Amino acid sequence: MNILVVAATREEISGVISEFGGQVLDSAVANPFTGHAINQKNSEINHPKPNISITGVGMTATAFALGRHLATNQYDLAINLGIAGSFDRNIALGTVVEVVEDTFTELGAEDDTRFITLEQLGFGRTVYKTRSRVIDYLPGENLWKVTAATVNTVHGEDASIAKLHQRIAPQLESMEGAAFFYACEQAGIPALQIRAVSNYVEKRNREAWNIGLAVKNLNTFATKLLLSIGDKS
């Protein structure tokens, strides 16, 4: 199976890169379209190594990197891996979740206090869903399925958080997810978005974040998933 792993930064998937190696396409470096071969840690892994795309942070970087790459490359599955903030306090920090619906929350227009979506304006879509599920590739693994918001500015102010929650009530927030779903849909590639919760969406409080735990759990799960897919290839 030909797999593409997509992440905004190398740091988020350092464990996956170390474990699987392969070709890393890094769009976040000065020369954005140079592929870097990474030595494989485990030489006994006998299934195909995934290609890895480091897109850079944000929906624009993600859409451009994937649009360019997917125009000339075909995959059986694309997996977006990353950390995220959670609006939902029932999700413990470090929890690995499966995003099944993601929304471009800022695409639209303001009419005084009312927000008009792109759909209501008649100019397109803002909500993207995936029909692929982790359980299709890793039987018995039932991750928490969540909805997410994709934003240019992560929320850190009570009024804006309340306003977004009133409008669409997402559980997670990232800066890339909906762009990933959009690119995969346009290219006709099955897509999974897997994220680990590093913080709650609130007034910015880095002391309350647990990025280390989120990255560790994300990479542990991603390695398990990729090994399972490889065993079935």
Cα of first residue to Cα of last residue in the chain, in angstroms, is 5
Rg (alpha carbons) of the chain, rounded to whole number: 17
Whether 88 contacts 144, CB under 8 Å: no
| pLDDT tens-digit series, residues 50-75 | 999 999 999 999 999 999 999 999 99
For 52, residues 6+ apart whose C-beta sits below 8 A from its C-beta are 4, 5, 6, 7, 13, 16, 17, 20, 22, 23, 24, 25
CA–CA separation, 65 and 76 (whole Å): 18
Domain boundaries, the chain: 3-232
| pLDDT tens-digit series, residues 172-211 | 999 999 999 999 999 999 999 999 999 999 888 888 999 9
Residue 94, sorted as left (phi over 0), alpha (psi -120 to 50) or beta, turns out to be left
| 38, β-bridge pairs | 22
- Angstrom CA distances, 124 to 100, 108, 177, stand at 20, 10, 18
| pLDDT tens-digit series, residues 106-156 | 999 988 889 998 899 999 999 999 999 999 999 988 899 999 999 998 998
Threshold 0.85, pTM exceeds:
yes
- The confidence band for 221, taking pLDDT boundaries of 50, 70 and 90, is very high
For 63, residues 6+ apart whose C-beta sits below 8 A from its C-beta are 179, 182, 183
Average pLDDT over residues 16-34: 67
Residue 47 has pLDDT above 80, yes or no: no
| 187, β-bridge pairs | none
Say how far residue 149 (Cα) sits from the centre of its chain.
Answer: 11
Q: Which CATH class is domain 3-232?
A: alpha beta
CA–CA separation, 169 and 159 (whole Å): 14
